[in-house]
Structure 1
Amino acid sequence: MSADGGAHVHRTWRHLELRFDAGATQTRLSRWFPHRLHSAYTRLMLAALWLRPGPRRIGIIGLGGGAQAGFCHRHLQGARIEVAEVDPAVIALREVFRVPPDDARLRVECVDGAHWLRRQRGRFDLLLLDAYDAHGIPAALSTRAFYDDCRDALAPGGVMAGNLFDTDTRAHLSRLRRSFDGRVLTLRVRNAGNRVVVAWQGTPRPGPVEAALADLPWRARGQLRAGFRQLAAAWARWAEG
């Protein structure tokens, strides 16, 4: 199954995959457990909830197969989720990947993420960046100005998490550290080539991991426990200087 623009669905007996013409897999969904976050990097990105629990407004750049949007809609009932996705072909496949329809808590907008973000000053408690096309991270989402806009889009105490894969990680980290005055952590995704970056506004005061997990629905806790612990360990090293 495909839609105009190169995005298409690749089916196996275990998974549904969102792919582009170049063959890159952007999202993998388990046929048997469709509501679970299949990819380890998505679970690690959402470990940012340890630093900013109970977000009221979540911004997402890059819908992909909608794994994170669906997770937030399902498990963070108090949050409003706003998604920017530039490719209408990707949005056209949202039902295949069981992304909920737009409602009072979820809105998916077909718009350039960089332009969209400039209108979101001080808006988000949690901002998730996972925007890829067939060639990797778009150039407009890789600049110092874009990361400045990410910082400015966060509400006080807000947290951003991003996925870095098949890119110049050092260049991205350098820009992020300048934009966020060094308030940046990097997390290695086990058994994968991804790096997850976490950056924040202000001075978060996270509590114990298990206490933070206890505030989430039980179906979410097991998915996020390892990521919370990994982020907490990285935070402790950063805090010690």
Structure 2
Amino acid sequence: MASSSFKARIASRTGSDNQTDILAVVSSASMSRHDPSPSLPEPSQPSGAGGEPPLRPFIQESGTTRTLHFSEKVIQSRMSTLNPDALDLEYTRMMMGFVLFTPAPADILMVGLGGGSLAKFCYRYLARSRIEVVEIDPGVIALRDAFMVPRDDARFRVVQADAADHLRGLRDAADVLLLDGFGDAGIPDALCSAEFYADCYEALRDDGILVINFHLNHPKHRDYLDRVRESFGASMFEVVDDDMTNSIVFACKGERLDDPAAAELKRPESIPKDAWRQLMPTLRVIGATRELK
């Protein structure tokens, strides 16, 4: 997997100016003057820390590709306008690895909307699942139509909230919890604390799966894994991309990660064939990594 295809979306972040009125669309000519390769911002202080105003999200377009940014150098989300429900970035396909263990979750909770890649894929292909997306930035939510994110309905909704506050006190609410918590300054401290991962554990039902997107090269990466382990124990494993850039961590509130059936890579009846074809190459990597854990 090339580094140009394995990065991250904008996600929940602390500190927002609650303004959605200045949202720019930058021409493809402007985009060509900058590196269009997706890249993850380094985890650091929340947006707006130290008195600096948070950056407003904007869109760039080049041909049939639409991308979400806080700065022109960093792509937060990428969508093909020809196939808007497809998972265009490899890391999103890796996060869908939970289907090996929980192929038909009743409730999926996501932290971070971004361009809605995971939300759209789950909404389309996991037709029996209810999906709630927590996004702190109203500017990101305001761009949902540009990325063809579904309207709220009986089984899908986007909630504007601080994820740390939203999960605190939540109990047995989700079968799958997806954390892609990157803003313009990286992962907010509140979304990589031991307390937050403990709240994630409590928010999951028995045998629930937590999936986290991390920046592998961040100096505190091992500390973050230790914090996850404090709540989930040994029931976790990590999958790293070929470029040694991103880390996708799977953790379980139970023993489901040890289910031998996951190694069979057999398509569950609940997942359509075209979705399985998109995911299959990545699922093989996840299955092999799990066997080595």
Same fold (TM over 0.5): yes
Is the CA contact (8 Å cut-off) linking 1:214 and 1:221 kept in structure 2?
no
Q: CA deviation at 1:32?
A: 2.1
**Structure 1: distance between partners of 2:71 and 2:292:** 41
Provide the residue aligned with 1:142 in structure 2. Answer: 192
Aligned residues: 238
Is the CA contact (8 Å cut-off) linking 1:45 and 1:196 kept in structure 2?
yes
Aligned amino acid, residue 32 of structure 1: L
Is the CA contact (8 Å cut-off) linking 2:209 and 2:251 kept in structure 1?
yes
Is the CA contact (8 Å cut-off) linking 2:132 and 2:157 kept in structure 1?
yes
**Are positions 1:181 and 2:233 aligned together?**
yes
When Rg is computed on C-alpha atoms for both structures, the one with the higher figure is 2
Provide the residue aligned with 1:39 in structure 2. Answer: 89
Is the CA contact (8 Å cut-off) linking 2:265 and 2:284 kept in structure 1?
no
Q: CA deviation at 1:189?
A: 2.0
Match of 2:109 among 48, 59, 64: 59
Provide the residue aligned with 1:190 in structure 2. Answer: 242
Please show how residues 199-214 of structure 1 align to structure 2 within 5 Å.
199-204=251-256, 205-207=259-261, 208-214=263-269
Is the CA contact (8 Å cut-off) linking 2:267 and 2:276 kept in structure 1?
no
**Are positions 1:28 and 2:83 aligned together?**
no
Match of 2:179 among 113, 116, 129: 129
**Structure 2: distance between partners of 1:154 and 1:32:** 35
**Structure 1: distance between partners of 2:160 and 2:106:** 22
Match of 2:274 among 201, 215, 219: 219
Q: Deviations over 1:186-235 (max 9, x none)?
A: 10123462110100011112525432455410121112112222222222
Provide the residue aligned with 1:235 in structure 2. Answer: 290
**Structure 1: distance between partners of 2:57 and 2:230:** 34
Provide the residue aligned with 1:89 in structure 2. Answer: 139
Q: TM-score, normalised by structure 1?
A: 0.93
Is the CA contact (8 Å cut-off) linking 2:194 and 2:227 kept in structure 1?
yes
Q: Give secondary structure in 1 for the equivalent of 2:108.
A: strand
Q: TM-score, normalised by structure 2?
A: 0.77
**Structure 2: distance between partners of 1:133 and 1:47:** 23
Aligned amino acid, residue 108 of structure 1: V
> Which runs of 5 or more residues in structure 1 are unaligned?
none
Q: Give secondary structure in 2 for the equivalent of 1:131.
A: coil
Q: Deviations over 1:2-39 (max 9, x none)?
A: 26951111111131111014742110111222221001
**Structure 2: distance between partners of 1:189 and 1:211:** 23
**Structure 2: distance between partners of 1:213 and 1:107:** 25
**Structure 1: distance between partners of 2:140 and 2:122:** 19
**Structure 2: distance between partners of 1:22 and 1:143:** 29
Please show how residues 87-126 of structure 1 align to structure 2 within 5 Å.
87-126=137-176
Provide the residue aligned with 1:18 in structure 2. Answer: 68
**Structure 2: distance between partners of 1:209 and 1:57:** 24
Is the CA contact (8 Å cut-off) linking 2:113 and 2:135 kept in structure 1?
yes
Q: Give secondary structure in 1 for the equivalent of 2:266.
A: helix
Q: Deviations over 1:62-82 (max 9, x none)?
A: 001100000110000110001
Q: Give secondary structure in 2 for the equivalent of 1:20.
A: strand
**Structure 1: distance between partners of 2:149 and 2:270:** 24
Is the CA contact (8 Å cut-off) linking 1:144 and 1:175 kept in structure 2?
yes
Is the CA contact (8 Å cut-off) linking 1:45 and 1:163 kept in structure 2?
yes
